[in-house]
Amino acid sequence: MAGDDDTRVIGYFAYTPPMHAICDGDACVIAGSEAGMKRYVEAMVSGSLKGTRIKKTRFGEILNGLELGAAYAFDEEAYNRFHPLAKKAGLPMTPQDFSGPSPTGMHFVRIQLAGVT
């Protein structure tokens, strides 16, 4: 069953080759849709998608990254997919409130495992 969860698509990440991830601070942005990721990239990288690649990311990939010390910034759609699987995997997760506006218009929840470097 865990293997099935590992292959579940959580959302999309973006990078510019060779492997410079689009981040909010130190956290890799995970958007719930490709269109959402395009909006974030345009807002975060001077309005240009030129040279940016957008790829699906799965629960197992994110979990591996967290175990290696990575931080992720989830939008609401991606977080709502990630949260129940992470909880099932034993991570201490809580529901998040996305109702309040953010100063940038982009609302992310940052996740990183404590004590992992």
pLDDT at 117: 57
What gap in Å lies between CA 70 and CA 53, rounded to an integer?
20
Backbone angles phi, psi at 46, to 5 degrees: 50, 35
Amino acid of residue 99: S
SS (HEC) of 19-87: CEECEECCEEEEECCHHHHHHHHHHHCCCCCCCCEEEEEEHHHHHHHHHCCCCEEECHHHHHHHHHHHH
The pLDDT profile of the chain, 117 residues, written as one tens digit per residue, is 456 999 999 999 999 888 788 888 899 999 999 999 998 888 887 766 788 899 999 999 999 999 999 999 999 999 999 999 999 999 988 888 888 766 667 889 999 998 765
